[in-house]
Structure 1
Amino acid sequence: MLPDNLPASLAEALSARGYDQLTPVQSSVIAPEASGRDLLVSAQTGSGKTVAFGLAMATELLVEGSFPPAGPPLALVIAPTRELALQVSRELEWLYAGARIATCVGGMDASRERRALSHGTHVVVGTPGRLRDHLERGALRLSSLRVAVLDEADEMLDMGFREDLEQILDATPTERRTMMFSATLPRPIVALAKTYQRDAVRISTVGEDRGHGDIEYQAVAVAPSDIEHAVVNLLRFHEAETAMLFCATRDNVRHLHASLVERGFAAVALSGEHSQNERNAALQALRDGRARVCVATDVAARGIDLPGLSLVVHVELPRDAETLQHRSGRTGRAGRKGTAMLIVPYPKRRRVDMMLRGARIAANWVPVPSADDIRGADRERLLTKLAEPVELDDEDRALGQRLLETKSPEDVAAMLVRALRASMPNPEEMADGANEPQRREDGHRPGFDDTVWFRLDIGRRQNADPRWLLPLLCRRGHVTREEIGAIRIGPSETFVQIPRPIATRFAAAAAKSSHGGDDESGIAITASDGPPSMPRGAPRGRPSNAGGSNAGGGPRGGAGGGARYRAKPTPPRR
């Protein structure tokens, strides 16, 4: 049940929107002890903060239950990004029926905004830079302001808007009411609150908002070269109504977006290089279903709320736990369930484990869905869809009858399945999913009777693993997986077999990729006499029988050729 102390107009708006109860943060800001007070609120993304400050400031805006004639703004809401400001405006429009709300954000028509301000408003929502510009030009008059709201205050300070915020707040009446909403309360936020708030009520609902309760966190470990393939398979396996993929840079957004579109995904991109019109068009395509995948940078996605967003994929790892939560908070909003997937390169698994522990997030480590997994999920989705009741008109039945006159029911059903599969992007084969290479009876793979050892300056202490070393060797040495023999991992170094006929070419390519700047791993690859564990009498460059089948590149020795590694290689003895 909604509380009895809500104004009738707001209660009606909430009920029409489907609210039967308030979230913890919404209940806290309208509690008697918070009435009329400055507020310093810490709450998780997606906890209903916009409606919360809309409810909290209603007492300053309404006169006998309705809005007075429009004039200089009574309330000012400052948000860090254009998308968040536009979303706040949309939320307040349905909550405040009859109010005049002006939005002032960069990238929009400034002259139109000035006209809207001159005609009178009740609430102004905007970004710091554009609000400051209107203030300096005299278009924004704050002499009558009763309440100021800073939404995502921590983000605005991180983005360098402190000077803008101070100039705007300094232009407001000292008796105004000030509310700061933030996911966290770092020291700069507390300092800003001491300067511009009076005896503020501190509200924290982080523990009550079910923090991560509506978001299921999963992590997949992949070879660095397989990240894009993992993205494709995750999108195909989950088939989310809307999915958001996070990259670290504009260039990476551009590349991944182009790659997904080429594969057949209906995808849009959001980054700082896109104009406001392009961003608006992308968001509208997501809202009306013309696009289902959004590739974005952190800043571009700040404040975006897409009702059908059920999957967030961290294609590139967030820089810290706070960024992880902000990104993931795009899903699992307002009681809806969502999934956040982290794609973790093998060498960075330990760092991610530490980040998750620090954020108190329990993530399940799962394998990347295989092509067979995806095809199985497709079959189940198709059967479920066909079992749903549908309304068929006479034209549908007539066309179905014509098909049955020329084709059997089995053929029609098979053609339907084929048409469905043809409309979907193909899944990708992952690097560690190939079949084991063939070995001869003596334990050696064909072509590995005469080999040269190479040394990598990385071992178990650095999380070395054949699953990601194998693609790296192929990329650095310009060889295929079938041309790599045994991989033996020690505490701080790894040894790899390469057939002698291609060893010179492998060494040259590895040196060139390292010196030419093509290597992102920082791992040195040099020729070697072999692992220290080899017997003294054994011929160098040739696998020793002392290691049994492992020396010949069998599965326990980390064979190449796309083998699935079931155990770590025997560590060399020092």
Structure 2
Amino acid sequence: MKQTISAALAERGYDTLTQVQTAVSDPALEGADLLVSAQTGSGKTVGFGLAIAPVLLGDADQFGPAASPLGLVIAPTRELAMQVKRELMWLFAKTGAVVASCVGGMDMRDERRALARGAHIVVATPGRLRDHVMRGSIDLSALRSVVLDEADEMLDLGFREDLEFILDETPEDRQTLLFSATVPKSIATLAARYQKDAQRISTVAEKSQHTDIDYRAMLVAPRDGENAIINVLRFFEAPNAIIFCNTRAMVSRLATRLSNRGFNVVALSGELTQNERSNALQSMRDGRARICVATDVAARGIDLPKLDLVIHAELPNNHETLLHRSGRTGRAGRKGVSTLIVPPAARKKAERLLRFAKLNAGWGPAPSAQEVQAEDQKRILADDVWIQEPTANEAALAEELVATFTPAQLAAAYLKLYHTAHAAPEELSDVNTKPEKHEPFGPSVWFSLAKGRKQGADPRHLLPMLCKAGGISRGDIGAIRLQDDQSFFEVKADKVPGFLSSIAPAMSVEGFAVEQLDAAPDLGRTGKPAPRGKTRKFDRKPPKPHRKGDRTSNTKHKGKDEFGDDRPIKAPVPARTKDADAKPRKPFKPEADTPKGKRPADRKKGPPPPKGKPNSKKNRARAAAKAIAKAKGGDSTPKRRKS
């Protein structure tokens, strides 16, 4: 086993192993359960490959015929699973291992046929693997080792139930390895349940996270976030860069903006199909695209060559996500830069994330347009093209150019071509700029304009109209006061001669007469005009006089109101009193033995009230007939007609 694995590592160019790879391949830990935490990009994939190799192969150097899988690796995303598969294929290439994959977005029928043919190692995502288990297309009874890669991310994505279902289907004597960049409480709980006497391995790099990454927190104005991203891309000019956003909408918006500015950009989010995602990553690998805009989940497990720059367009929600994002760069000993775009409102959040992640970041503004241009000059002068020997075709054309144009013309043409191929930097606002205090307007002269509210005057229309007609700027006009039939405005005293000469001799602006005033107009009560359909308080009409006999008609004047006008103020209504000549009414006292619903004996019994409406035509006729019959002394009961 050692010979085949060592030969594969040598062919791949591994002279020495990384710290985590050395720790997990310790012979004293052979076959033991491991809980490993190491920074992203430290070689964890090769590390757990070395850890499970002795358990899968034993003392043999070659695998036997493929049947039920012996090893299982579970990863949170499709890209990470496919990356792990590629790493394990070259690591176990000389052992004759068959590596299969079960990931979402791929044809499930092809996966079932591959599993039926047999596989030694299966790399899968949780959801798709559970589907295969429930359909009976994979047998986990022969497993010897199970690896959970990026276990913390799988729990954050809601795969706990799937993981527990899968682990319950595996043999109890299996080897279980949990690899993660961080070990939160949820990972420790999962390890305590499914691991036996697990050995905890924590690399030294965890105490000083990502030492190969230069962290920079860039303060930007609230509306300069996207402009700052453009300047960061132009300042570093990294071969490959990835920009992280929190939502799909932001990914689409930023990718469109960068594409319009001439950047070769691809978008990566969860709404893309597997083929679209694969094409996007392939375009980054072969150089057709240089920038990838992605969400956190979509970018998990991405391993791009020469990825030297990571930009956090939006701050993540926790420090673990910050570490995973930044871990896309600074891999395998390469240096990288991770920049955080921080508006003023998010500064405390950024400081908290960096503190929890144990990171030290340099704070400062985003690169300005002048700094980007200075870096362009350095790159032009340091380019290797100046020392390269021209080819035969290039030499012939170069001689023709030198004979036709002067050196200054050639240099200017080269600079124009260079700037045409690169997006221009953006002008950024000063983050620390405070609102300017308005200084007094100074000496001014007032004018009147024969156009008021009734003629449709509005300050937004009057200001450009006056500037255009008078040849002055917006800052030369002070207050504008609107009235019903005219408007008043003030002009700086030193601009008055030029203003008068511009509107002379007609002394009008767009047909409306203009007159210079000797003093500021006396507008009385000033203020904003009332909205249409409403009146201001001091424009309201006085209340109508009260009708005679009304209880509130007793009014009197008492001074002036808050507007300075004499207003009638209602006098307090006296309390109602009894008439002295009125006969007091006796209170009603029913007899004790009066049956409920009966009239008291002391009351006179009268005829029951007529049925129906009291003032109906029928009742009036009946009452009239009774009165006539009573006067004649006859029966007062009206006779009914015979039908």
Above 0.5 in TM-score? yes
Aligned residue among 51, 71, 76 for 1:75 = 71
One-letter identity of the residue aligned with 2:199: V
Aligned position for 1:40: 35
Matches within 5 A, 1:430-445: 430-432=428-430
> Shift of residue 373 of structure 1?
0.9
> Is residue 223 from structure 1 mapped to residue 221 from structure 2 by the alignment?
yes
Give a deviation string over 1:385-426, Cα, whole Å, max 9, x none: 145643532122222222223223332232122111101111
One-letter identity of the residue aligned with 1:94: W
d(CA) in 2 for partners of 1:191, 1:395:
68
> Shift of residue 78 of structure 1?
0.2
One-letter identity of the residue aligned with 1:390: Q
Aligned position for 1:92: 88
Call closer, same or farther: CA 1:431–1:140 in 2, change over 3 Å. same
Aligned residue among 20, 23, 29 for 1:28 = 23
Contact 2:214 2:337 in 1 (8 A): yes
Call closer, same or farther: CA 1:484–1:214 in 2, change over 3 Å. farther
Matches within 5 A, 1:250-261: 250-261=248-259
> Shift of residue 198 of structure 1?
1.4
Aligned position for 1:214: 212
Contact 1:267 1:291 in 2 (8 A): yes
Call closer, same or farther: CA 1:437–1:179 in 2, change over 3 Å. closer
d(CA) in 1 for partners of 2:167, 2:217:
43
Aligned position for 1:10: 5
Contact 2:209 2:357 in 1 (8 A): no
d(CA) in 2 for partners of 1:398, 1:327:
49
Aligned position for 1:331: 329
Contact 1:312 1:328 in 2 (8 A): yes
> Shift of residue 435 of structure 1?
12
One-letter identity of the residue aligned with 2:343: P
RMSD: 3.0
Call closer, same or farther: CA 1:181–1:500 in 2, change over 3 Å. farther
One-letter identity of the residue aligned with 2:70: L
d(CA) in 2 for partners of 1:263, 1:116:
45
1:88 is paired with a residue whose SS is: helix
> Shift of residue 14 of structure 1?
1.8
Aligned position for 2:269: 271
Call closer, same or farther: CA 1:380–1:39 in 2, change over 3 Å. same
> Is residue 281 from structure 1 mapped to residue 279 from structure 2 by the alignment?
yes
2:179 is paired with a residue whose SS is: strand
d(CA) in 2 for partners of 1:437, 1:319:
31
Aligned position for 1:232: 230
> Is residue 161 from structure 1 mapped to residue 159 from structure 2 by the alignment?
yes
> Shift of residue 436 of structure 1?
12
d(CA) in 1 for partners of 2:432, 2:320:
37
Call closer, same or farther: CA 1:263–1:501 in 2, change over 3 Å. farther
One-letter identity of the residue aligned with 1:84: L
1:431 is paired with a residue whose SS is: coil
Aligned position for 1:513: none
- Structure 2, unaligned stretches of length 5 or more? 447-472, 483-525, 528-643
> Shift of residue 327 of structure 1?
0.7
Single out whichever of 325-334 and 385-394 deviates more from structure 2.
385-394
1:124 is paired with a residue whose SS is: strand
Aligned position for 1:66: 62
d(CA) in 1 for partners of 2:356, 2:445:
49
d(CA) in 1 for partners of 2:445, 2:357:
51
Aligned residue among 382, 396, 404 for 2:402 = 404
User: TM-score, length-normalised on structure 1?
Assistant: 0.74
Call closer, same or farther: CA 1:173–1:502 in 2, change over 3 Å. farther
Call closer, same or farther: CA 1:42–1:224 in 2, change over 3 Å. same
d(CA) in 1 for partners of 2:182, 2:172:
26
One-letter identity of the residue aligned with 1:21: T
With CA pairs under 8 Å and 6+ residues apart, which has the higher RCO, 1 or 2? 1
Contact 2:208 2:359 in 1 (8 A): no
> Shift of residue 115 of structure 1?
1.4
Give a deviation string over 1:58-95, Cα, whole Å, max 9, x none: 11222522222222111000000011101111111221
Call closer, same or farther: CA 1:210–1:435 in 2, change over 3 Å. closer
Give a deviation string over 1:225-254, Cα, whole Å, max 9, x none: 110000000000010111111111000000
Contact 1:447 1:499 in 2 (8 A): no
Give a deviation string over 1:204-243, Cα, whole Å, max 9, x none: 1154685221011001111121100000000000101111
One-letter identity of the residue aligned with 1:52: G
Single out whichever of 152-161 and 347-356 deviates more from structure 2.
347-356
Matches within 5 A, 1:358-507: 358-386=356-384, 389-390=387-388, 392-432=390-430, 501=480
Aligned position for 2:101: 103
d(CA) in 1 for partners of 2:441, 2:150:
60
One-letter identity of the residue aligned with 1:53: F
d(CA) in 2 for partners of 1:437, 1:282:
44
- Structure 1, unaligned stretches of length 5 or more? 1-5, 451-482, 486-497, 504-539, 542-574
Contact 2:265 2:293 in 1 (8 A): yes
Single out whichever of 113-122 and 405-414 deviates more from structure 2.
405-414
Give a deviation string over 1:126-162, Cα, whole Å, max 9, x none: 1001111111112111122111100011111111111
Contact 2:37 2:206 in 1 (8 A): no
Aligned position for 1:545: none
Call closer, same or farther: CA 1:243–1:499 in 2, change over 3 Å. farther
> Shift of residue 18 of structure 1?
2.2
> Identity across aligned pairs (percent)?
55
Contact 1:241 1:309 in 2 (8 A): yes
d(CA) in 2 for partners of 1:207, 1:339:
17
Contact 1:287 1:306 in 2 (8 A): yes
Contact 1:264 1:424 in 2 (8 A): yes
d(CA) in 1 for partners of 2:25, 2:433:
62
One-letter identity of the residue aligned with 1:176: R
> Shift of residue 30 of structure 1?
1.1
2:216 is paired with a residue whose SS is: strand
d(CA) in 2 for partners of 1:449, 1:247:
55
Call closer, same or farther: CA 1:438–1:32 in 2, change over 3 Å. closer
d(CA) in 1 for partners of 2:481, 2:313:
35
> Is residue 357 from structure 1 mapped to residue 355 from structure 2 by the alignment?
yes
> Shift of residue 484 of structure 1?
12
Matches within 5 A, 1:542-561: none
Single out whichever of 42-51 and 410-419 deviates more from structure 2.
410-419
Aligned position for 2:627: none
Give a deviation string over 1:521-549, Cα, whole Å, max 9, x none: xxxxxxxxxxxxxxxxxxx99xxxxxxxx
d(CA) in 2 for partners of 1:445, 1:325:
54
Contact 1:313 1:341 in 2 (8 A): yes
d(CA) in 2 for partners of 1:191, 1:208:
20
Call closer, same or farther: CA 1:407–1:181 in 2, change over 3 Å. same
One-letter identity of the residue aligned with 2:154: M
Contact 2:205 2:211 in 1 (8 A): no
